[in-house]
Chains A and B, each alone.
Chain A
Amino acid sequence: MAVNAVLENSDLVLVAFGYTLLLFVLAGIGSLLLGSLLAALRVGPVSIMRRSVSVYVTLIRNTPLLVILIFFRIAGPKVGLRFDFVDVTIGEINLNAVFTACLVGLTVYTSAFVCEALRSGINAVPVGQAEAARAIGLTFGGAMGQVILPQAFRASLPPLTSVQIALLKNTTVAGAVGVFEAFARMRSLTNDYTTQTYGIFLAFAVIFVVLVEIVSFLSLRLERRWKVAR
C-alpha cells in the first residue's frame, strides 16, 4: 500500500503533528493576546502608541514569514537574541531554543494580522457603545476590555478564523528552519521511502485538511452561539 511508510512510522508522524499543533495552539493564543493588545493600542488615545503599532503592523504584514522566522532563528543568535533558557520536554516532544525562536516568529507575524482583523471588528462596533462606556465612567482600558473588544471579537470571528487557519498551515515553515514538525517529517519520510512519495504526500495533506476542518467547525459553532447574543 502506498501509505505503508506513514503507518509504519505512525509514532514519528504523531510526534511531528504534536509539534505542529503545539506551534499552532501556542502561537495562536499568543497572537490573539498580542494582537488584541495591538488593536486596542491602535485605536487608543495615545498618539505615539497608535503610530508605533501602525508601523509594526505595516512592517510585519509586508515581510514574508520565512524572513521573520530566519530573523529570530538565525540572525537573532548572532546579535545575542537567544532562547536557550527554554528547555522543556513533554514525552517525545522537545521544546528548545529552535522551537521557541520559531514560536516567537510565528506569534509576531500572526499578531499583525490578528490586529488588523480585530480593528475591522472594532470599526463595526457602533460609536455609541464607546461613548456610553465612557459616560458610565469606564476608563479606556475598561471600555476596551468590557465593551468594545468583546463585541469586536464577535464581529471579526470569520477573518480571525482565516488568520488562525493560515497560522496552522504556516507552521510548516518552521519545518524548514529546524523544528521536526509535520512538514519536516514528511520530507524525511519521502526521502527514506522514495517509492511511496505520493502516498506520503496525500496522507499528510489529508491530515492537514482534517485539522483545518476542525478549526473551521469550532469557529462556526462559536459564530452561531454568539450571533444570538447580538
Chain B
Amino acid sequence: MRIHRLKLAAVAVGLSTALAACGDAGGDTAGGDTPDVEVQEDAASQFEEGTRMAELAEAGEITIGVKYDQPGLGFKDASSDVPTGFDVEVAKLLAADLGIDPESDSVTWEETISDNREPYLQEGRVDLVLASYSITDERRQVVGQTGPYFLTGQQVLVPADSDVESIEDLRGEDVCSVTGSTSLTNVEDAGANGVPAETYSQCAEDVVNGTVPAMSTDGSILLGLAAQYDGELKVVGDEFSEERIGVGYPQEYPEMCEWINETLTEAYDSGAWGEAFEATLGGDGVETPEPPALDECQA
C-alpha cells in the first residue's frame, strides 16, 4: 500500500522554472534538467519489520555506490557535490522509495570503481551499487544483483578521423579499457591487446593524444565521452557484447531484491524511468528504449 505521496514534484517544478528564469539564458541543453523524484512519506511503516528496507527507512540515511567517471551514467566533475547520470537517477528513485530525499545530505554518494564494487557491498560500506554494474553469474555468488534496469553492449571509441569501423579492425591493436572490468576481458576475447587504465577518462585521454588507437566499453558510456570530447572522438561499430546493467545489494539482505524490482517496475509504469533516461543518456536523435524485463528474484 503506497499512498500518502508527498507531492514535492509540483513545488520543485515551480522552483526550477523560477530559477531557470533567473540564470539559464541559453535554452535547455541535453541532459540539463533531471526529473524530480517523489519522496515516499512515512516509508518505514511500509516495510515489514526487520527487513533491511525498514532499517534504512528508519535511519533515513543510505550510502549508494556509483561511478564518477562515466558521463551520462555516473559522473561527477570537480566542481559539483553530487554525481549525475542515469545510474544516479535510478538510485534516486530507490532512495526516494525509502522515504529518503535524494537531493539532501541523507544520501551519501560513494565512488565505486569497477574493482571495488563487490568488496564494498560485502563490507557493508555501501548499501546499494548502481555503477554500470553488469549482472554476471560469478558476481551473483558473492553479492545480490537484480534488474537489469538497462541493456547496453560494448562498442568502440576512436578518434574522429580514424578508419576503424568495428572491433574486427582492431585485432592485434591496443584497445584501452578500465582495469578489472568485463569490458577489458571482452576486448581481449575479440583479439585486441587490452591496455588497462585506472579510469575511463584516462582511456579517452589516451585515445585523444594518440597513445592508443581506440578504447572500448559499454556504448552508453562511450556516447557520453564522445559528447565530452565533441568533434575529437566518435563511437563506431555494432555492439559486440550484451551487458545487463543491474543493481547490486548485499547478499545478506535477499529481501532487497523484491523491493528493488517493485520500485523499478513502478518507475517503468509511471514513466519515471523514461524521464530519467531522457534527462541523462537521451538527447537529440536518441530514442528512449523500452524498459528491459526484470529478472525474477531467487526466493
Residue numbers of A with Cβ under 8 A of B are 73-74, 77-78, 82, 84, 94, 96-98, 175-180, 184, 187-188, 190-195, 197
Q: Is B238 an interface residue (CB 8 A)?
A: no
How far in angstroms is the closest Cβ of chain A from B252? 16
Q: Is B103 an interface residue (CB 8 A)?
A: no
Ordered by A's residue number, 12 sampled pairs between the chains whose C-beta atoms are within 8 Å are A74-B202, A77-B211, A94-B174, A96-B193, A98-B211, A178-B206, A178-B212, A180-B195, A193-B138, A194-B141, A195-B141, A197-B118
Q: Contact between A177 and B194 (Cβ–Cβ < 8 Å)?
A: no
Most buried by B among A73, A77, A98, A178: A178
Closest Cβ neighbor of B197 among chain A residues? A178
Q: Contact between B182 and A192 (Cβ–Cβ < 8 Å)?
A: yes
Closest Cβ neighbor of A75 among chain B residues? B209
Chain B contact residues, majority secondary structure: mixed
A197 to B138 alpha-carbon distance, docked (Å): 11
Contacts of A176 in B (CB 8 A): 179, 196, 198
Interface size class of B (residues with CB under 8 A): 20 to 34
A74 to B211 alpha-carbon distance, docked (Å): 9
Contacts of B141 in A (CB 8 A): 194-195
How far in angstroms is the closest Cβ of chain B from A122? 40
A175 to B143 alpha-carbon distance, docked (Å): 27
Residues 211 to 263 of chain B near chain A (Cβ within 8 Å): 211-212
A78 to B176 alpha-carbon distance, docked (Å): 18
Q: Contact between B212 and A191 (Cβ–Cβ < 8 Å)?
A: no
Q: Contact between A190 and B180 (Cβ–Cβ < 8 Å)?
A: yes
Most buried by B among A96, A179, A194: A194
Closest Cβ neighbor of A187 among chain B residues? B180
Closest Cβ neighbor of B179 among chain A residues? A187
Most buried by A among B184, B209, B211: B211
A82 to B209 alpha-carbon distance, docked (Å): 10
